[in-house]
Amino acid sequence: MALTKISVAKGDGIGPEIMDATLEVLQAAGAQLDYEFIDLGEQVFLRGIMNGIDPQAWESIRTNRLLLKAPITTPQGGGYKSVNVTMRKAFGQYANVRPVRTFDGFVPSKHKGVDMVIVRENEESLYAGIEYRQTRDTCHGVKLISRTGTELIVRYAFEYARANGRKKVTCLIKDNIMKITDGLFHQVFDLIGAEYPDIVKDSLIVDIGMARIADTPEKFDVIVTENLYGDIVSDIASQVAGSVGLAGSMNLGVGCAMFEAVHGSAPDIAGKGIANPSGLINAAVLMLYHVGQGDVAAKIGNALLVTLEKGQHTGDIAVDKSKALSTQQFAHAVIGNLGQTPTKLTPFASVRGKGVVMPNPKTTTQSKRTKRLVGVDVFIDADTVDSMALGTKIAQAGTPVLPLQLMSSRGMAMFDPKHPSKKPETEAVTDLWACRFVGDEGKISNLDVRTVLGNLEGLGIDWVKTENLYTFDGVVGFSGRHGA
Ligand code: NAD
């Protein structure tokens, strides 16, 4: 059998330790792989490459289209951008697939019979990390949800369910609050789901959905959700199932496929040789199925299960911590168990399902729509608590075709020019104000918007951002204000 060439990144923190352990297991199991080692992450940033990806690494990934990757450290609250997010977007990896299961009787968990797969949208939502600071006091994050991106992930989830004999797909959304972004995700779920009558469909508001996953995880099958919710829910699910150290995941799409553990670089235990390599080993198992080496995948998967059945555990899951194995001892235990089949836990099969049809962006439906400009929200920076005086001034910037309709702060109505002396329900506590100018649908243009902006400048108002307001096929494409 010809060797399959893959790029391998050892990552940061516990990355090198768990990658070495995983490669030892792959080697012993006879995986037909040829490794090309690349640098990603912290060491690359330290060399001054600001996206954290070495040019030679880009080339290797583009050519091999397969990457086994250990976790990478991303600084919190500042510093360089996440290499993981860059990779997922650059290589069009729209689907992040995270199987989670319990190992009943062998890995302590409050739950039994958990066997779910989280299909997480991987390129959009708040997780895209598109953020701005506009004023002394405020910043905005962009929650981007596209119809194309949503169709891809939802269709993938149903295709995955069908190919793997799964019965139900549950969609997690928050469309009672985010009616436009999460509303679109939910609509697309209903639309695409109708094409899969053989699969049960269910949707839950994300907060109660996560509570139920923590409480009765055994009731879930396939979960499809947006990027940020999927990130949170997969850590909850894998922790509930025993340890974040156990779950592997794959990132699939139109470019290269990337396989990694669900957990991060665990700096708190890095260098101690005690990390559980199972998450990365499970990711490697997913990769072997993906490249058609199902027999080796099953051999490793089963050896891992036998290892757990024998109570050969790393510290994160060991009941008797004094008997916990090191990362390397655990890898050697798995190697010693190669060729054995678990006695209680369901074994891995050498062939997995029918192979999932990966949807292509070109095949997604695009609704026909007539888009009409109806107004603009102009965000202004004004450090005042006197909303009536500010609103009265802003109203002067309106024109006969594009008058001020409302001024708000943090989504609360603060000034209505039709009732200029009406006091708002609450005082503004911040310095960013949204001023909504609305005209007749189809009768205004960007020129009118520019006139309003020019008028604001003439009044000495600091406008910091604008958001045009449109209708699509007559349906309003923007949110209203509370208390208006
Ligand atoms: P983490 O998953 O690294 O660690 C959370 C907790 O779980 C820690 O107590 C850690 O010791 C433990 N843990 C994680 N993996 C383990 C393992 N294999 N064996 C035993 N215990 C394990 O999450 P974090 O602390 O929030 O993040 C640390 C860093 O990892 C951050 O920089 C974050 O951005 C990054 N991260 C990277 C990825 C990735 O590369 N895909 C994913 C998540 C987090």
pTM comes to 0.91
Distances (CA, A) of 281 to 20, 34, 235, 253, 327: 10, 17, 17, 21, 12
Could you tell me the residue ranges of all domains in the chain?
371-476
Q: Which helix (H) or strand (E) holds 63?
A: helix 55-64
- Portion of the chain with pLDDT greater than 90, in percent: 75
Any idea what the Cα angle at residue 480 is, between residues 478 and 484, rounded to 5°?
A: 160
Q: Whose CA is nearest to atom 11 of ligand 1?
A: 266
**Average pLDDT over the chain, rounded to an integer:** 92
Which pLDDT does position 283 carry in this prediction?
97
Region 79-107 average pLDDT: 88
The predicted-structure confidence for 32-86, as pLDDT tens digits, reads as follows 999 999 999 888 888 888 888 888 999 999 999 999 999 998 877 777 778 888 8
Q: Which CATH class is domain 371-476?
A: alpha beta
The predicted-structure confidence for 178-217, as pLDDT tens digits, reads as follows 999 999 999 999 999 999 999 999 999 999 999 999 999 9
Torsions phi, psi for 393 (to 5 deg) = -70, -45
Task: Give yes or no for residue 26 having a pLDDT over 70.
Answer: yes
Task: Give yes or no for residue 483 having a pLDDT over 80.
Answer: no
Ligand 1 pocket member 84 (CB < 6 A): yes
Q: Which helix (H) or strand (E) holds 233?
A: helix 227-240
Region 366-370 average pLDDT: 75
Give 341-409 as a DSSP string: --SSSPPPPSS-SS------GGGS------EEEEEEEEEEE---S-HHHHHHHHHTT--SSS-EEEEEE
Which pLDDT does position 156 carry in this prediction?
96
Ligand 1 pocket member 276 (CB < 6 A): yes
Which pLDDT does position 353 carry in this prediction?
61
157: CA distance to ligand 1 center in Å?
26
Q: What is the largest CA-CA distance in the chain?
A: 81
Q: Whose CA is nearest to atom 20 of ligand 1?
A: 275
The predicted-structure confidence for 389-411, as pLDDT tens digits, reads as follows 999 999 999 999 999 999 999 98
Which pLDDT does position 319 carry in this prediction?
83
Evaluate whether 137 touches 381 at the Cβ level (below 8 Å): no
- Residue 263 CB-density burial (10 A; 0-12 exposed, 13-18 middle, 19+ buried): buried
Which pLDDT does position 352 carry in this prediction?
66
Ligand 1 pocket member 122 (CB < 6 A): no
Q: Whose CA is nearest to atom 8 of ligand 1?
A: 266
At residue 432 the predicted structure's pLDDT band, cuts being 50, 70 and 90, is very high
DSSP E strands, 32-149: 33-38, 66-69, 95-101, 115-121, 131-133, 139-141
Nearest to 15 by CA among 40, 33, 32: 40
Which pLDDT does position 243 carry in this prediction?
75
Pocket probe mutation, ligand 1, options 231, 265, 276, 308, max atoms within 8 Å of Cβ? 265
Which pLDDT does position 317 carry in this prediction?
87
Ligand 1 pocket member 12 (CB < 6 A): no
